[in-house]
Amino acid sequence: MSVRHFNFCAGPAALPTAVLERAQAEMLDWQGRGLSVMEISHRHPDYMAMAQDAESKLRQLMGIPSNYKVLFVQGGATAQFALLPMNLLGPKTHADYIDTGIWSAKAIAAMGPYGTAFEAASTASNGYRYVPSQADLKLSKDAAYMHYCPNETIGGLSFDYVPNTGNVPLIADMSSTILSEPVDVSAFGVIYAGAQKNIGPAGLTIVIIREDLLGRASNTTPNPFNYALQAANDSMLNTPPTYGWYLAGLVFDWLLEQGGLEVMAEINTAKAELLYQAIDESQLYSNNICVANRSKMNVTFVLADEGLNDQFMQQAQDNGLLNLKGHRSVGGMRASIYNAIPLAAVHALVAFMKDFETRHWA
């Protein structure tokens, strides 16, 4: 039997072992049909039933109201950075953006050819160590929407509130936080997420959009990326990422079996608290994010002596603790502890960190 190590990769990230085992069991013969789910038309009634079932489970998990459409599309969150203005600006020429890190800054940059991105607030000059408060948000007149990133995957920074934008639709890049805790979907105009952090394999992007925002796309928007067209075609205007959709459905099943998002949120909070406590108690490790804005999904930390980084990662790997290297743009370490990471993985990481500190620092 092969060993599955604890994998703290930021994305593509760990999937629940039970989900992979089920996918493996169904790989050659999907539910007695004598073929793989990958080898069937997306228009086959069996595939469509599976796809609809996956969507209804996502709706159940997140409590998605009936006036929202759910799209299962390709292109990743990065494609959405451009598709949002293409689909949502309509006759307007600008939108508001909150800048809290590398991903929200990329969304701002991608707005370039389509319209003007007004900066509602930025914490760049503070090294993205906290998020702006509601009172700090400057909302422009007549903005088409306001965009923000509730969880900055690279910085390990999280909003501890949902911005209030009044009648202006709020757009959230939830790539690294979707399904980690309950959210009030009705507070958002659009929620989108690449699948490979906390949903399923790369190649699938989920877009949850309020119906009244459909139909504003510019006429230069390619059809497969036109939200209204995809919504009207149940995400099957062209071939959707069929295997990713199937695997996401297995993850939704698994989440429902765990007890849903409230239960996941409790586990995720316990995991994050355990890890941050170990960091705060240590002399070797530190995290400089404002405590209220520390991410529960991506825990970043640096070693007091950066010369120990390589040894730390090598020894962690030797102990079955994989992919702790921080993003190349910020350095240090990052432990991504999405839904699929069990509490036992964080206990193992904390034990290793303490042991490493005793041997190399104390």
Instruction: Report the catalytic residues.
Output: 103, 173, 197
Query: In the chain, where do the E strands start and end?
Result: 6-7, 68-73, 94-99, 116-122, 146-148, 151-152, 157-158, 170-173, 190-194, 205-210, 285-286, 298-303, 321-322, 333-336
Residues 5-34, interacting with ligand PLP (CB under 6 A): 11
Q: Does 326 bind ligand PLP (CB under 6 A)?
A: no
Which stretch, 32-40, 64-72, 169-177, 342-350, contacts ligand PLP (CB under 6 A)? Answer: 169-177
Q: At which residue do the structure tokens 């910020």 appear?
A: 330
| Contact between 171 and 148 (Cβ < 8 Å) | yes
Under the binding rule (CB under 6 A), the answer on residue 94 touching ligand PLP is: no
Distances (CA, A) of 341 to 262, 296, 299: 16, 12, 13
Burial of 259 (0-12, 13-18, 19+ CB in 10 A): exposed
Nearer of residues 195 and 350 to ligand PLP, judged by Cβ: 195
321-360 as b/e: b if 16+ CB within 10 A: bbbbbbbeebebbbbbbbbbbbeebbebbbebbbebbeee
- Give every CB contact of residue 313 below 8 A, 6+ residues apart in sequence: 324, 325, 333
Distance, in Å, from the CA atom of 257 to the CA atom of 51, rounded to the nearest integer, reads 19
Rule CB under 6 A: is residue 321 a binding residue for ligand PLP? Answer: no
For residue 173, state whether it binds ligand PLP (rule: CB under 6 A).
yes
153 makes contact with ligand PLP (CB under 6 A): yes
* Nearest to ligand PLP of 16, 155 (CB atom): 155
**At closest approach, how far in Å is the CB of 63 from ligand PLP?**
22
CB closer to ligand PLP, 105 vs 308: 105
Nearest-angstrom CA–CA distance, 17 and 251 = 10
Q: Which residue's Cβ has the minimum distance to ligand PLP?
A: 76
- Please select the residue that binds ligand PLP; options are 100, 165, 176, 221, rule is CB under 6 A: 176
Residue among 201 and 357 whose Cβ is closer to ligand PLP: 201
> In 41-175, where does DSSP find H-type helix?
45-62, 76-88, 102-110
Interface characters, 214-253, with ligand PLP (x: CB under 6 A): ----------------------------------------
Rank residues 55 and 173 by Cβ distance to ligand PLP and give the closer one.
Answer: 173
Q: What's the closest the beta carbon of residue 10 comes to ligand PLP, in angstroms?
A: 7
Least Cβ distance, residue 100 to ligand PLP (angstroms): 10
146, 159, 191, 293, 307 from 130: Cα distances, Å? 19, 8, 22, 6, 27
Pick between residue 96 and residue 357 the one whose CB is nearest to ligand PLP. 96
Stretch of residues binding ligand PLP (CB under 6 A), selected from 21-29, 75-83, 301-309, 317-325: 75-83
Judged by CB under 6 A, the residue of 122, 175, 287, 293 near ligand PLP is 175
Say whether residue 155 binds ligand PLP (CB under 6 A): no
Write out the residues near ligand PLP by the rule CB under 6 A. Answer: 11, 76-78, 103, 149, 153, 173, 175-176, 194, 197
